[in-house]
Amino acid sequence: MLPALGACMRYDGMMPREGVRGCPMSDHSEEKTYRIGEVAEMLNLKTHVLRFWETEFPQLAPLRTGKGQRLYTEDHIGLLRRIQQLLHEQGMTIEGARRVLHGSAVLDESLPERVAAVPDPDFMRMLRRELTAVRRLLSGQ
């Protein structure tokens, strides 16, 4: 038995909330949702961290029940895992993670290797001096 239409609405009452326990999806399937405590346990995080991330990452907008309880879909959980990876595993700032999630920054697995490949500043100064000396020799100065 499906819930009343009002139970399938977003917390703000404006948009239909398909996929919430028993609410019809456009393809007539149901999408599993999880409460904040369940998600926090899955990700080994505290619930207040999830609520904070919701304020910092606008694309993270969990569904709400009529009483305002958060309901997360598999897509939300995937996004949370990505945020967790960027912040906790890769040590990014919230702003940096925001840029990556918005697509304005390119992040790939080779980042640590590329950072390690950046030459030492002292080496670069020495190289610059040598190249300047070679240029002087070639120009006849």
Residues 79-131 pLDDT 10s: 999 999 999 999 999 999 998 888 744 555 555 665 666 667 777 888 899 99
CATH: 3.40.50.1000, 2.60.40.10, 3.40.309.10, 1.10.1660.10. Which one for 5-107?
1.10.1660.10
The domain spans of the chain are 5-107
Eight-class DSSP state of 9: B
Say if CB 77 and CB 42 are below 8 A apart.
yes
Residues of the chain with pLDDT > 90, as a percent, come to 48
Say how far apart CA 36 and CA 54 lie, in whole Å: 11
pLDDT at 19: 46
Say how far apart CA 82 and CA 57 lie, in whole Å: 12
Say if CB 88 and CB 80 are below 8 A apart.
no
pLDDT at 134: 92
pLDDT at 101: 86
Say if CB 71 and CB 33 are below 8 A apart.
yes
Q: Which residue has the tokens 């919230």?
A: 94
What kind and span of H or E run contains 1? none
The answer to whether residue 11 scores a pLDDT higher than 50 is no
Q: Within a 10 A sphere around the Cβ of 19, how many other Cβ atoms?
A: 21
Say if CB 33 and CB 25 are below 8 A apart.
no
Which tokens in the block code for residue 79? 């996004």
Cα 99 to Cα 26, 78, 114, 115, distances in angstroms: 32, 17, 19, 19
Say how far apart CA 53 and CA 103 lie, in whole Å: 18
